[in-house]
Structure 1
Amino acid sequence: MSSTTRTVSDGVGVLTFDRLERRNALSIEMFTELSDTLDAWAHDDSVAVVVITGGEDVFCAGLDLDLQSGFTDETRAEYSEVCLRAYGTLLDYRKPTIAAVAGAALGGGCDIAVFCDMRIASRNSVWGFPQIKFGLTPYFSPLWKIVGLSQAKLLTFSGERIDAAEALRIGLADRLTMPGEVLTGALRLARSIAETTVESAVNNKELARRSPAMDPISALTYETLAYREVIRHPEVMDRIAEAYRAVRERKGEK
């Protein structure tokens, strides 16, 4: 039985965790389906943006404790492998990704949200790394790049949970919605991105990945060259021409 559902519409691929009876706790199957879906959509021209959600009640409560309690050396190694594949695929993904977070985003669920490019959160969302209380370690590097060193230390040293307002304050959440509206909010943003072009979405994601690691002049040069490349794209030229025609029509020009 599948642990996720997948839909594509208006340039947006939506992957929904579907283990509500387990609060969308992470299983080997969920990780595998997440990776396989991302791989399938990476070069699918019908998908410009990916939204990952658990629905309006719970995003993901982290590792399934029933699974963990029954680990053997073999299943623990398998879990580690599929986890690393999913996280690596998400971190290195070529298209924009949005986490639509409602309810609990804990442990590995919080990691998945952090590994996405943007996070739209319901006001009922709760974030944190409770595995710290067990003596386990977090994925620190992606987190501190979003919230800064001090806030990342607060979250990962203590294992304390924070609410949506605090997540927004420290930059972990990018926007908040009312409960029951998080997917609507995420889809609104995703469709806005998809309205550009698939190539534009990919190019802008690449700029966002590369430029922060460059010195200012190198970044300026790289981004200028990227602009020169895309300005020649036929679809871009057609859109610019159409916009120019629309402006002239509004002014009553021929």
Structure 2
Amino acid sequence: MKSYTEITATIENGVGTIAFSRYERRNALSLELFADLSDCLDDWRENDDVACVVITGGEDVFCAGLDLKLQSMFTNKERRDAYSKACLRAYGTLLDYAKPTIAAVGGPALGGGCDIAVFCDIRIGAENVVMGFPQIKMGLTPYFSPLWKIVGLSQAKLLTLSGDRIDAAEAARIGLLDRLVPTGTVVAEATRLAESIAETTTESAANNKEMMLRSPAMDPISALTYETLAYREVIWHDSVVDRIGAAYKKLGQ
């Protein structure tokens, strides 16, 4: 296991957990945190011990957004360029990641922190969650494309134009959170879901993630054909045949 300075990374029961560890800065995004996140995801991409990834900041603060110390340096072109490259790498890695990702969101998830949650496949949120894009109040922009695909165009426009923050109940109502859990339990609940996904095996999780990535960009008939071929491809795998046989045996059939 590699060591990192801005995150902690652990693997257990098929679940890789990335926890932001810049607690003194409310897990605010730095170039170093972006690099650690990207490096860890890259390292786990081909690791068969990781079937599903949980990303969290803990129970109290998911991520407060871009570190204002870094933002204050944006008058320097090299720093702006470095930040742009870090964003493209981290968010691009999450967007096209080969395995399922779950954001375990406790407390504030703002600006770039909200973006990280949006780029994950699933978002589990605690009742103490606050989400939004306050950088809009300063004339900046969020990532609109993945947001509207989750909450719909109207809600995405509302969040993007206003920059207003929303609480956990509203985030769940509009679909920005997939599940809402009691405060203090979000990491455990996200881990439980990730372990359930991991039980399907790393190969199955990766196959289904590939389908999730590709099918939405296809027309309905192309998607039907692609998904049928994907099913036909896996149904004869030895591991799948063995698992089907075990299920029938368990049922007494």
TM-score range, shorter chain: over 0.9
Taking structure 1 as the reference length, the TM-score comes to 0.96
Deviation at 1:82, TM superposition (A): 1.1
**What does the per-residue CA deviation read over 1:96-145, in whole Å, with 9 as the maximum and x for residues that have no partner?**
00000000100000000000000000010000000000001111000000
Distance 2:49 2:105 in 1: 24
Aligned to 2:227: 223
Task: After TM superposition, list the pairs within 5 Å mapping 1:1-254 onto structure 2.
Answer: 2-71=5-74, 72-248=76-252
Deviation at 1:70, TM superposition (A): 3.0
Distance 2:168 2:141 in 1: 23
**What does the per-residue CA deviation read over 1:220-243, in whole Å, with 9 as the maximum and x for residues that have no partner?**
111111111111111111111111
Runs of at least 5 residues in structure 2 that lack an aligned partner in the other structure: none
Deviation at 1:245, TM superposition (A): 1.3
The more displaced of 127-136 and 77-86 is 77-86
Distance 2:170 2:178 in 1: 11
The more displaced of 8-17 and 233-242 is 233-242
> Matched residues, percent identical?
71
Distance 1:149 1:195 in 2: 35
- SS of the residue corresponding to residue 66 of structure 2 reads coil
Distance 1:70 1:142 in 2: 28
**Which of these two proteins has the greater Rg computed from alpha carbons?**
1
Runs of at least 4 residues of structure 1 off by over 4 A? none
**What does the per-residue CA deviation read over 1:16-37, in whole Å, with 9 as the maximum and x for residues that have no partner?**
0001110000000000000000
**What does the per-residue CA deviation read over 1:136-163, in whole Å, with 9 as the maximum and x for residues that have no partner?**
1111000000000000000010000000
Deviation at 1:87, TM superposition (A): 0.6
The more displaced of 138-147 and 239-248 is 239-248
Deviation at 1:76, TM superposition (A): 1.9
Deviation at 1:216, TM superposition (A): 2.0
Aligned length: 249
